[in-house]
């Protein structure tokens, strides 16, 4: 994609491993992991811009290590932005997030960003030593620390939920001195919209399971608070939306083929009918033109926005079908949506965020910053220069004095 494009289009996966109701076959973990890589490379070939993967630590999901998977994908693609949907800000240590995603940023050449969220799996909190009753305070405090770790070379930190830091430097430093772009994802929590606005970050509304009016309220709050915090007019805020579609050339073919998957899907099967669900939510099952009409109308509801992701590989759909869906999205739907959503955009509406654009914004035509040991940061052991002349005594890394060694 051109890094000046106003909109980014892509696919997202929640990484579920679900039985195909039409064949009774359940793919193995290996098959689904490899399928994710195939989908991502196929998305680039189809002209899409983004591949995003969720984070889960329980069956039937496979994506427990998003950065590992996304690094592998980045190595096999040239233009694709790799992202998350979501990264668990509540149960991952902020230092670990800072280091893992900065490494991904370097390895991908800046073709990455990430979405922060609390997830939807309650038991994940005790698995990582946290209390779900503290979910929101954890999200707020942990991101405050992560933001400092990426924007300050040397961090002193004291908070409620983790040990304090003195003179700490997260490594590697962000590529070109520019932190990865962060989306804050939420389906129900105004405090997260407030958090995104406070930091001048993006806000991603999942926009899958609930009526549009619900997400409309959150996005409107985010835009108002973005302006309140001095980042610009409400229309300059950076918004992303989720979505779902199942596409066939003929609408009735799409309905007939997708119905058994919808009816048996753990996430929404055995509930409302597919017809009711598609009426109440953005799920669109039909022809390319029906998908175009539905998603071109999103701007009427939410204003100009910057990223549209589609969920396409869930509910046990076989890989062959998913790849066909990506082809239809890339050839029949997205090119038209790009043109329609580029027309009559509000003049102040920003382009979709890219690393290259953020580097230009920070440095203009000047050289970007390149972090080097000893040049611009401290040492986590001695608070001096990492490569200072004085040798570090053996055992110092374990907290032992010279006499004890």
> Range with the lowest mean pLDDT among 98-107, 121-130, 290-299?
121-130
What band does 404 get if pLDDT is binned at 50, 70 and 90? Answer: very low
| pLDDT for position 249 | 97
| pLDDT for position 138 | 87
| Higher pLDDT, residue 131 or 67 | 67
Structure tokens at 295: 């998603």
| pLDDT for position 285 | 97
User: If we measure between CA atoms, which residue out of 107, 41, 34 comes closest to residue 80?
Assistant: 41
What band does 383 get if pLDDT is binned at 50, 70 and 90? Answer: very low
Region at 82 (left for phi over 0; alpha for psi -120 to 50; beta for the rest): beta
CA distances in angstroms from 350 to 245, 305, 347, listed in the order given: 26, 8, 8
Residue-wise pLDDT tens digits, 218-266: 999 999 999 999 999 999 999 999 999 999 999 999 999 999 999 998 7
| pLDDT for position 376 | 54
| Higher pLDDT, residue 335 or 210 | 335
Q: How far apart are alpha carbons 139 and 160 in whole angstroms? A: 12
- Give yes or no for residue 161 having a pLDDT over 80: yes
Structure tokens at 300: 């009427």
| pLDDT for position 387 | 29
Tell me where in the chain the CATH 3.20.20.30 domain(s) lie.
Answer: 8-371
| pLDDT for position 375 | 57
Q: How far apart are alpha carbons 69 and 56 in whole angstroms? A: 13
Do residues 300 and 212 touch, judged by C-beta distance below 8 A?
no
76-92 average pLDDT score: 91
Domain 8-371, CATH: 3.20.20.30
Radius of gyration of the chain (CA): 22
- Give yes or no for residue 405 having a pLDDT over 50: no
| pLDDT for position 179 | 97
| pLDDT for position 269 | 67
Q: pTM of the full predicted structure?
A: 0.90
- Give yes or no for residue 394 having a pLDDT over 60: no
- Give yes or no for residue 389 having a pLDDT over 70: no
Do residues 310 and 243 touch, judged by C-beta distance below 8 A?
yes
| pLDDT for position 397 | 36
Percent of the chain with pLDDT over 90: 69
| pLDDT for position 212 | 80
349-359 average pLDDT score: 95
- Give yes or no for residue 396 having a pLDDT over 50: no
What band does 117 get if pLDDT is binned at 50, 70 and 90? Answer: confident
> Which three-class secondary structure state does DSSP give residue 238?
coil
- Give yes or no for residue 4 having a pLDDT over 70: no
223 HSE (CA, 13 A, CB side): 20
Mean pLDDT of the chain: 88
308-331 average pLDDT score: 96
Region at 170 (left for phi over 0; alpha for psi -120 to 50; beta for the rest): beta
Q: How far apart are alpha carbons 322 and 312 in whole angstroms? A: 6
What secondary structure, in 3-state letters, does 92-144 show?
CCHHHHHHHHHHHHHHCCCCEEEEEECCCCCCHHHHCCCCHHHHHHHHHHHHH
What band does 386 get if pLDDT is binned at 50, 70 and 90? Answer: very low
- Give yes or no for residue 76 having a pLDDT over 50: yes
- Give yes or no for residue 368 having a pLDDT over 70: yes
Structure tokens at 47: 């002209």
Percent of the chain with pLDDT over 70: 89
| pLDDT for position 2 | 53
Q: How far apart are alpha carbons 96 and 82 in whole angstroms? A: 19
What secondary structure, in 3-state letters, does 37-63 show?
HHHHHHHHHCCCCEEEECCCCCCCECC
Task: Write out the H or E segment, with its range, that includes residue 182.
Answer: strand 181-186
| pLDDT for position 400 | 40
What band does 133 get if pLDDT is binned at 50, 70 and 90? Answer: confident
What band does 181 get if pLDDT is binned at 50, 70 and 90? Answer: very high
Cis preceding linkage at 155, omega within 30: no
165-168 and 239-241 strand pairing: unpaired
What angle is formed at CA 322 by the lines to CA 319 and CA 327, rounded to 5 degrees? 125
């Amino acid at each position: 994609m051109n890094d000046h494009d106003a909109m980014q289009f892509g696919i997202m996966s929640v990484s579920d491993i679900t039985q195909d109701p039409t064949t009774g076959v359940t793919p193995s973990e290996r098959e689904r992991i490899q399928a994710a890589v195939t989908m991502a490379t196929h998305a680039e070939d189809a002209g899409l811009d983004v591949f995003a993967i969720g984070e889960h630590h329980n069956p039937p999901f496979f994506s427990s290590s998003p950065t590992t998977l996304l690094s592998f994908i980045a190595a096999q693609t040239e233009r694709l932005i790799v992202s998350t949907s979501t990264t668990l800000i509540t149960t991952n240590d902020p230092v670990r997030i800072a280091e893992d995603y900065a490494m991904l940023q370097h390895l991908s050449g800046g073709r990455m960003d990430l979405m922060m969220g609390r997830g939807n799996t309650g038991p994940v909190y005790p698995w990582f030593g946290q209390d779900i009753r503290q979910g929101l305070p954890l999200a707020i405090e942990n991101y405050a620390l992560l933001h400092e770790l990426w924007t300050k070379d040397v961090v002193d930190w004291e908070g409620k939920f983790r040990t304090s830091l003195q003179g700490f430097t997260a490594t590697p430093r962000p590529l070109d001195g520019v932190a990865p772009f962060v989306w804050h994802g939420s389906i129900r929590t105004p405090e997260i919209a407030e958090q995104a606005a406070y930091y001048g970050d993006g806000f991603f509304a999942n926009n899958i399971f609930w009526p549009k009016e619900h997400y409309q309220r959150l996005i409107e709050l985010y835009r108002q608070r973005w302006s309140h915090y001095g980042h610009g007019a409400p229309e300059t805020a950076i918004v992303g939306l989720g979505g779902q579609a199942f596409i066939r050339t003929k609408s009735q073919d799409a309905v007939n083929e997708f119905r058994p998957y919808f009816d048996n899907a753990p996430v929404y099967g055995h509930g409302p009918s597919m017809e009711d669900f598609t009426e109440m939510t953005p799920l669109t099952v039909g022809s390319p033109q029906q998908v175009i009409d539905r998603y071109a109308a999103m701007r009427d509801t939410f204003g100009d926005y910057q990223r549209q992701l589609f969920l396409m590989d869930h509910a046990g759909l076989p890989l062959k079908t998913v790849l066909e869906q990506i082809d239809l999205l890339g050839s029949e739907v997205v090119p038209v949506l790009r043109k329609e959503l580029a027309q009559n955009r509000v003049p102040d509406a920003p382009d979709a965020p890219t690393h290259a654009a953020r580097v230009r914004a920070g440095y203009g035509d000047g050289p970007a910053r390149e972090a080097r040991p000893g040049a611009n940061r401290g040492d986590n052991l001695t608070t001096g220069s990492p490569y200072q002349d004085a040798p570090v005594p053996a055992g110092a890394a374990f907290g032992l004095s010279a006499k004890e060694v």
